[in-house]
Structure formats: structure tokens, C-alpha cells
Amino acid sequence: MRIAVIDVGTNTTRLYVAEVNDGAVTAELTRVSRVTRLGAGVDASGRLAEDALEREYAVLDEYHSLIQEDGPKRAVALMTSAVRDAANGQEFADEVADHYGLEVHVISGDEEAQLTYRGATDQLPPDPDGAPTLVFDIGGGSTELVIGHGSRVDFHVSTQTGVVRQADRHIHSDPPTPAELEAVASDVRATLQAAVPEQLRTGPSARPGRALGVAGTPTSMAAIAQHLERYDPTRVHGYRLTATERDAIFTRLLALPLEQRKQVTGLHPDRAVAILPGIVILTEIMDLFALEAIEVSEHDILRGAALHFAGS
């Protein structure tokens, strides 16, 4: 079955078209990503802004044409944190469904976490030592953390922590000041500590044997670390990012104003605005679970949603 999935996120809108047969992705046909910042200002205003909607519709027009070329049997749009939180979010979702003929789902944070875990762990064997697997998705408006064994989810939570949300709340300088970034870190730290029970993050038996980071911040870090002139998912997927490497990249980027960050090899210019709060969130997650390194994954909610909706 050929299926198209659009992930309408707070910072990025992505298209994924795949062939799914007998519960497995057998071919990935299309994968496109555009930064729209749909959720810019939602944390303060409670509404999707008109200029953000204009950017979003321009991308959806592009994706609609690509979907028609691919000819999937089913076309689904997932809408996450920004649309969930906005007073005009349901109105936007209804309009997208009517205009583009998409099957639109405004999913909960719990559903987002479950689909992300399924996509990230789809082809991974269980940890040989029986240790839990952590999957985390740093989004624009929320961050999902999921802990499981194999395909079984034991714990999942969606937090109001995201790169756009934290930037809107705390960052007002270019480059951000140490005080602004510490405000991001304190906000994120308190949220994560309240969201994840202590027994899931302390002690040898609780520590994840494998930690998978999906979405823009981890994948951008892997591309920067490898100095990729052109983004190469085959080199990004599975990359082991250490805390030392993370900190070195953060220190380097922190010294650069936005226009210079846009020139950094491996960092897409559209992600230059959100990368610093993203690294702060990544650092707080790694510190929470005492992780010295993470594995970057290209398999995420898009893959999980393709598997889910192809089978439903």
C-alpha cells in the first residue's frame, strides 16, 4: 500500500510517501522538509498567526502537487502541538482537510509519542542486555519522551517544551545571552524533572541501554558534526553524538549571530533560529538520563504514522 503522511509541526512541515506491505516499510519514495514556523507566537497569543498560516499554505500547496504525482492510496496529515494549542487550530485543520482532500488528525501528545516510538524502533532489535530504550523527539512546541522494551511502550509523556516555544519565551537577543539560555535550561529542566518519574531515570537498571534522538535538532547536530555540505540521511541515521561533541558545537554556534549561523556547514539556514534552544533541550534530556551519547535516527513519527495508518 502506498501512503502519504504530512507532519504539520510547530516549526517544520514534512512530507513522507512510502510503500508499506505486510506491516513493514518496503520503500521510501518521497521525503521533504520545510521550516514554516507555524507555531511562532502561539505560546503568547494562543492563535496561529496570519503570516505563519501563509507560509504553511504555500508548503501545503507544494506537497499537494507532490502527492498527486506519487498517487498514494491514502493521504494523512498529522497536526501536533501548535494546532492543538491554538484557539483557531481546529478551524485551520478543517480548512486543510476540505481544501486538499487530506485525512486530517489533530493528535494528542500521547499519540505523538506512541507513533514516534513505533517509527524509531521499527527495525531495531531489543537491547541484548534487556535495558530499556529511550526515544525522544524535540519538536517546535513539545518534546516527547518514550521508554520501552522492543516494540512495547512502558512509559511515554509529551511536555510543553519545544524549540519555538522556548525561543519565544526566553530568547530576545542575537546571539542569545547566557542569561537567556540559562532561562531556557531552567524552564526545560523543571518541566522534564516533573514529567519523568525519578525511578525511570536513576540507577543502573533504569538507565536506557539505547537513546534515540529524532527530528531536527539531533539530525542537524549529526550533519554539523560531519561537516555535510549536502544533507545525507544515510550518514545522519545511526550517527553517535557524544556529549563532548554536542558541547563543542554549542560553544561554536553560541558565538555566532544568526546570519553567521546560517552559513555553518551542515546546518540548514532555516534551522539556524531554533538550533540553540534545541541544543539546550537536548543537553537537559541527556543530563536527565545521565547519557554520555545518543544515536541519531531518521526514523520518526512519519514512519510510525505510515505503519499505523497503512494497517488501520
**172-207 pLDDT, tens digit each:** 999 999 999 999 999 999 999 999 998 887 766 677
Q: Is the dihedral of CA 261, 266, 271, 275 positive or negative?
A: negative
Co-location of 229 and 241 in the same domain: yes
* pLDDT for residue 80 is more than 90: no
Question: What Å distances lie between residue 138 and 61, 125, 200, 298, CA to CA?
Answer: 26, 23, 19, 13
C-beta separation of 263 from 227 below 8 A: no
Same domain, 74 and 129: no
Domain CATH code at residue 69: 3.30.420.40
Looking at the predicted structure, is the pLDDT value of residue 47 above 70? yes
CA-CA distance, 55 to 34, in Å (whole number)? 10
Co-location of 98 and 154 in the same domain: no
Burial of 140 (0-12, 13-18, 19+ CB in 10 A): buried
Predicted local confidence at residue 63, as pLDDT: 97
Q: How large is the average pLDDT for residues 155-180?
A: 91
Whether residue 262 sits in one domain with residue 137: yes
- 208 and 244 inside one domain: yes
Q: What is the pLDDT of residue 179?
A: 94
Is 36 part of a structural domain of the chain?
yes
* pLDDT over threshold 90, residue 152: no
CATH label of the domain that carries residue 292: 3.30.420.150
* Same-domain pairing of 275 and 134: yes
Q: What percent of the chain has pLDDT over 90?
A: 75
Predicted local distance difference test score (pLDDT) of residue 134: 95
Query: From CA 201, how far away is CA 157, in angstroms rounded?
Result: 14
In a domain? residue 127 = yes
Residue 250 lies in a domain: yes
pLDDT of residue 204: 65
Residue 118 belongs to some domain of the structure = no
pLDDT of residue 126: 72
Helix (H/G/I), strand (E/B), else coil: 179: helix
Dist CA 276 CA 261 (whole Å): 10
307 and 294 in a common domain: no
What gap in Å lies between CA 226 and CA 236, rounded to an integer?
A: 9
Strands (E), 208-300: 210-214, 240-242, 293-296
Shared domain for 268 and 239, answered yes or no, is yes
Model's pTM, two decimal places? 0.89
How many domains would you assign to the chain? 2
CA dihedral 67, 69, 73, 79 (to 10 degrees): 0
Q: Are residues 150 and 293 in the same domain?
A: yes
Decide if 117 is inside a domain. no
Asked if residue 244 belongs to a domain, the reply is yes
Check residue 206 and give its pLDDT: 72
pLDDT value of residue 203: 65
Q: What's the whole-number average pLDDT of the chain?
A: 92
75 and 139 assigned to the same domain: no
Residues 209 and 243 in one domain: yes
**144 in any annotated domain:** yes
CA distance 84 to 47: 10
Task: Show the domain range for 192.
Answer: 123-300
Shared domain check, 132 and 97: no
pLDDT for residue 312? 55
- Tell me whether residue 165 is in a domain: yes
pLDDT, residue 144, reads 92
